[in-house]
Amino acid sequence: MIVSIKGLEKSYGDFKAINGLDLDVQQGEILGLLGPNGSGKTTTINCLLSLLTYEKGSIEIFDKPMSPDANDIKKDIGLVMQNVAVFEELTVYQNIDYFCGLYIQNSQKRKEYVKEAIQFVGIEDFQKKYPKELSGGLLRRLNIACGIAHKPKLIILDEPTVAVDPQSRNRILENILELNRLGATVIYTTHYMEEVEQICDRIVIMDKGKVIAQGTKDSLKESISIREKIIFELEDISQEIIEVLKAREDLKKVQYAHGLLELEVQSNNGTLIEILNYFKKEKVDFIKVHSESPTLNDVFLELTGTELRD
């Protein structure tokens, strides 16, 4: 096991930010830690890395107990935190060289590693620039290069794409997939469900300092009662028709507002065809119809009653 957290509890004063959290990370996976703002993702990462003390629980990394002075474990971890942490007085090259040098003492080897990291995140043209001369997206890429240059076995990224332009965001996500292909295990925290769907092998959903569900994106979506959402765009619909739809057992939600009729379907057994036939018979005209699969937001909504999105 790469990471094993058992029964973690962490409070800030009277407020319990982590409340009995269990988390395992397997060798070679990209694990997505998904949760709304304030659910405890950063606190979990900080406890995992012994950057914060905690009241209860045990944490093992690479099958060894983690502690603040466990340097043999730390040298194999790469960390990319939410807030960019680089030295303003050092150039791009010097920053990466500094962070790499914390673990790689051989200067020839370090030179190669720094060069590779610069190429990897695509900041070759900015090596002599200072951080304040970089755009937000380039700064994030520098932050990542600093975290990964020493070729760690476990890479932890805490919301690395917040407030990043789409081009840098895609580049960051591709970089994470590539690091994983090259052998690194990855923990990726975010509140963007699209990102975990795009890159993660397994997803752990957190809320209020606890794990509330985990699995692949497909198994999580299959675990909830909604199978499909059908949305009709129509100018008008009678209350009578709405009542008939509401009486159907295969529909969990029937809602008409602002010209959109939204139906949440609980089974996959031809509901759309039946409704289309019914609308034809009753002469219900519609402009458009489309069907959507449930999202991770629907999973979160069903489990907690609140939206995952901000």
Ligand X SMILES: Nc1ncnc2c1ncn2[C@@H]1O[C@H](COP(=O)(O)OP(=O)(O)OP(=O)(O)O)[C@@H](O)[C@H]1O
Question: Residue numbers of the site for ligand X (CB under 6 A)?
Answer: 12, 15, 17, 35, 37-43, 159, 191
| 84, burial (CB in 10 Å: exposed 0-12, middle 13-18, buried 19+) | middle
We find the least distance from the C-beta atom of residue 74 to ligand X, in angstroms, to be 21
Nearest-approach distance from CB 33 to ligand X, in angstroms = 8
> Toward ligand X, which CB reaches closer, 191 or 221?
191
Q: Which is nearer to ligand X, 79 or 114 (CB)?
A: 79
Nearer to ligand X, 68 or 270 (CB): 68
Q: How far is the CB of 309 from ligand X (least distance, A)?
A: 13
Q: Which residue type, as a one-letter code, is found at position 199?
A: I
Q: What is the DSSP string of 2-52?
A: -EEEEEEEEEETTEEEEEEEEEEE-TT-EEEEE--TTSSHHHHHHHHTTSS
Q: Which of 161, 147, 172 is nearest to 78 (CA)?
A: 147
Nearer to ligand X, 206 or 261 (CB): 206
Q: Tell me the closest approach of the beta carbon of residue 296 to ligand X, in angstroms.
A: 15
User: Nearer to ligand X by C-beta: 31 or 265?
Assistant: 31
Q: Report yes or no: 164 and 135 within 8 Å, Cβ to Cβ.
A: no
Query: Taking the complex as a whole, how short is the minimal distance between the CB of residue 208 and ligand X, in angstroms?
Result: 9
Rounded Cα distance between 83 and 164, Å, is 12
Closest by CA position to 196, among listed 21, 10, 29, 76: 29
